[in-house]
């Protein structure tokens, strides 16, 4: 990697880590001066761009998330959701209300029903009790699967777009534009089965946002994402929230809960959650 | 219509890219045809029908399995159940025709003394029935191993059952056997009439069954209510 490539990658990594633009410009200029004056391989001098950017972000800090705008009308209202598998009750009287311009995180221990709750909200699974009221258009991104191995990413966009009545060209362009928001330039000729796990999840996520849903339901969509993409993902959620979408994201990573407006903890009674309180099917 | 054709196109694209599967889909009927070719050509032609039916049904079964995770998302994206199952069927019918055509030409050149219109009609019955049969099994049995074994049972019964017996009429591909007999043994027209009627009834019945199962599986759940955006 030559100095220019390294500096470009370094600047991108700083952006991913949400280092303030002024700080990033300053640090990149300093590194460029150092390389120009001292010479040498930048990877040897500073290390990999990602690692050096992480160290810089650690020392100068990240920009605070933008202040949330006032939430709009209710877009998703789930109440009294109870679900049993055989004799095991997975969800009991769970509820959640999300408004336009809000992000809700569904958290909880493994097996506490996070994915089931989301699938009930998406209308893919019927609850034993309870009801869900949603806006007119839903987007859903599963934890895995949901793509076709032998289709190209562009063909996925065409397929999803046709459901909305979009012509091929606009569907392809909309898909590629949405993918770029995640830092992914969709390849024209690579089958989905040849994409890495993380890239396949980017496709999955792109498909769910392509329909411009009022309510976006995301089931741990970041599986396999590298750190940069993970940051891009949360930035993208922020943009969607600012555009008035209601977003529900299932997560067990609690490091981004500062960027969400609501938290629904489904940890059952007797379990331990991050706050130490408990509540089976707890409310947000 | 655009949705239907898009699903059909994507089904075909997926199938055409699985070159190993395509090769085996061609090898299966060819094996059925060649295995008895040195004896009586009529038996070879009837076996060929079974080979085509089996190959196309299996392709439909696996196409249904592969689409299982994708279809609920497509429902949310604006597709209705009939766009999905009819689109997939259209794509598989096109693939079935493409597979049957070279075998029809083989029979025309290899066995000139047959009623070739009858051979074509029997093959059309196989191609018409196999996709909805495979899709139905795939929809009812989500695990591919179970589906494959059930398909094997059906084909084995079809192969071994006495075609003159009453029970044979309950097997899905009896029509191709009956029309095939008319084509290769030059029997009376009753065979053709019975075969065509059976083929039509089974095809329509299979499509209705697929429609029913898919509509239930991809139904709009009662607990979910959509409100107009305010």
Interface contact B225-A155, CB threshold 8 A: no
What pLDDT sits at residue A14? Answer: 76
Instruction: Give me the long-range contacts of A29-33 (CB less than 8 A, separation at least 24).
Output: A31/A7, A32/A3, A32/A7
A48 CA to chain B: closest CA distance, Å? 38
Query: Among B3, B14, B70, whose Cβ lies nearest the Cβ of A146?
Result: B70
pLDDT at residue B5 greater than cutoff 60: yes
Interface test with B, best of A83, A96, A98, A123 (most B CBs within 10 A): A123
- Give contacts of A125 with chain B, Cβ < 8 Å: 221
User: Which residue shows structure tokens 């362009």?
Assistant: A173
pLDDT of residue A16: 65
- Provide the terminal-to-terminal Cα distance of chain B, rounded to the nearest Å: 31
Least confident of A20-24, A85-89, A276-280: A276-280
User: A277: pLDDT confidence band, cut at 50, 70 and 90?
Assistant: very low
Sheet holding A74-85, edge to edge: A88-99, A74-85, A129-134, B224-226
Dihedral pair phi/psi, residue A106, rounded to 5°: -105, 115
Please check whether residues A9 and A128 belong to one and the same domain. Answer: no
Cβ within 8 Å, pair A151-B14? yes
C-alpha distances (whole Å) from A230 to each of A135, A236, A246 are 27, 10, 20
| pLDDT grade for B42, boundaries at 50, 70 and 90 | confident
CA distance B4 to B229: 28
Model ipTM? 0.88
Residue B226 lies in a domain: no
* Residue A278 included in any domain: no
The answer to whether residues A226 and A152 belong to one domain is: yes
The count of domains in chain A is 2
Largest CA distance in chain B: 75
Domain boundary among A60, A86, A104: A60
Distance in angstroms between the alpha carbons of the first and the last residue of chain A: 48
Q: Which domain holds residue A22?
A: 3-60
Q: Do A150 and B228 touch (CB under 8 A)?
A: no
Q: What pLDDT, on the 0 to 100 scale, is given for residue A281?
A: 41
CB contact under 8 A, A163 and B79: yes
Query: How near does any CA of chain B get to the CA of A262, in Å?
Result: 21
Q: Strand pairing partners for B176?
A: none
Average pLDDT over residues B177-184: 92
Q: Mean pLDDT check: name the lowest of A215-229, B101-115, B165-179.
A: A215-229
Distance in Å, alpha carbon of B105 to nearest chain A alpha carbon:
30
- Residue B97 Cα to chain centre, angstroms: 10
CB A178 within 8 A of CB A206: yes
pLDDT, one tens digit per residue, over A4-48 is: 777 877 777 776 667 777 777 888 888 888 888 887 788 878 877
A50 and A88 co-located in one domain: no
Nearest CA in chain B to A156: B10
Average pLDDT of the residues of chain A: 81
- Per the structure, the complete domain to which residue B16 belongs is given by 2-217
Chain B: give the shortest CA distance to residue A81, in Å: 10
Nearest to B221 among A126, A147, A160 (CB): A126
A24 and A99 in a common domain:
no
Task: Let me know if residue B225 belongs to a domain.
Answer: no
Asked if residue A160 and residue A82 are part of one domain, the reply reads yes
A227 and A88 within one domain: yes
Q: What's the CA dihedral at B72, B74, B78, B81 to 10 degrees?
A: -60
């Amino acid at each position: 990697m030559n100095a220019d490539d390294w500096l470009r990658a370094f600047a991108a990594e700083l952006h991913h880590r949400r280092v303030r633009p002024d700080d990033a410009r300053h640090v990149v200029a300093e590194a460029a001066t150092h390389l120009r004056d001292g010479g040498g391989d930048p990877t040897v001098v500073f290390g990999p761009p990602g690692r050096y950017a992480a160290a810089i972000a650690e020392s100068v800090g990240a920009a605070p998330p933008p202040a949330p705008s006032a939430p709009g009308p209710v877009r998703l209202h789930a109440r009294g959701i109870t679900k049993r598998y055989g004799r095991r009750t997975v969800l009991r009287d769970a509820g959640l209300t999300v408004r336009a311009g809000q992000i809700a995180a569904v958290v909880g221990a493994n097996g506490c029903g996070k994915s089931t709750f989301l699938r009930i909200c998406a209308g893919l699974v019927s609850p034993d009790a309870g009801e869900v009221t949603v806006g007119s258009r839903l987007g859903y991104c599963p934890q895995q699967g949901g793509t076709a191995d032998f289709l190209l990413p562009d063909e996925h966009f065409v397929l999803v777009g046709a459901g909305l009545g979009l012509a091929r060209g606009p569907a392809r362009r909309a898909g590629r534009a949405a993918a770029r928001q995640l830092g992914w330039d969709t390849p024209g000729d690579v089958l989905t089965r040849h994409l890495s796990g993380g890239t396949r999840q980017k496709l999955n996520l792109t498909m769910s946002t392509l329909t411009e849903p009022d309510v976006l339901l995301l089931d741990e969509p970041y599986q396999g994402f590298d750190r940069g993409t993970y940051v891009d993902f949360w930035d993208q959620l922020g943009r969607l929230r600012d555009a008035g979408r209601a977003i529900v994201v299932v997560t067990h990573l609690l490091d981004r809960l500062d960027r969400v407006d609501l938290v629904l903890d489904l940890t059952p009674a007797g379990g331990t959650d991050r706050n130490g309180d408990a509540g089976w099917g707890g409310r947000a | 219509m655009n949705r239907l054709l898009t699903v059909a196109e994507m089904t075909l694209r997926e199938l055409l890219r699985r070159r190993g599967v395509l090769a085996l889909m061609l090898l299966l009927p060819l094996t059925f045809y060649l295995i008895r070719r040195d004896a009586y050509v009529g038996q070879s032609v009837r076996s060929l029908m079974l080979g085509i039916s089996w190959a196309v049904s299996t392709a439909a079964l696996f196409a249904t399995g592969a689409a299982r995770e994708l279809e609920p998302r497509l429902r949310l994206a604006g597709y209705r159940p009939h766009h999905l199952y009819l689109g997939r069927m259209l794509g598989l019918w096109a693939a079935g025709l493409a597979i049957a055509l070279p075998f029809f030409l083989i029979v025309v050149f290899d066995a000139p003394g047959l009623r070739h219109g009858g051979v074509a009609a029997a093959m059309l019955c196989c191609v018409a029935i196999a996709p909805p049969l495979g899709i139905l099994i795939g929809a009812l049995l989500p695990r591919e191993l179970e589906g494959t074994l059930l398909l094997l049972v059906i084909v084995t019964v079809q192969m071994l059952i006495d075609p003159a017996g009453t029970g044979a009429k309950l097997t899905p591909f009896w029509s191709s056997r009956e029309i095939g007999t008319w084509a290769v043994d030059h029997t009376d027209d009753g065979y053709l009439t019975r075969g065509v009627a059976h083929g039509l009834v089974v095809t329509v019945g299979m499509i209705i069954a697929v429609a029913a199962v898919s509509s239930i599986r991809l139904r709009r759940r009662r607990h979910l209510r959509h409100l107009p955006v305010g």
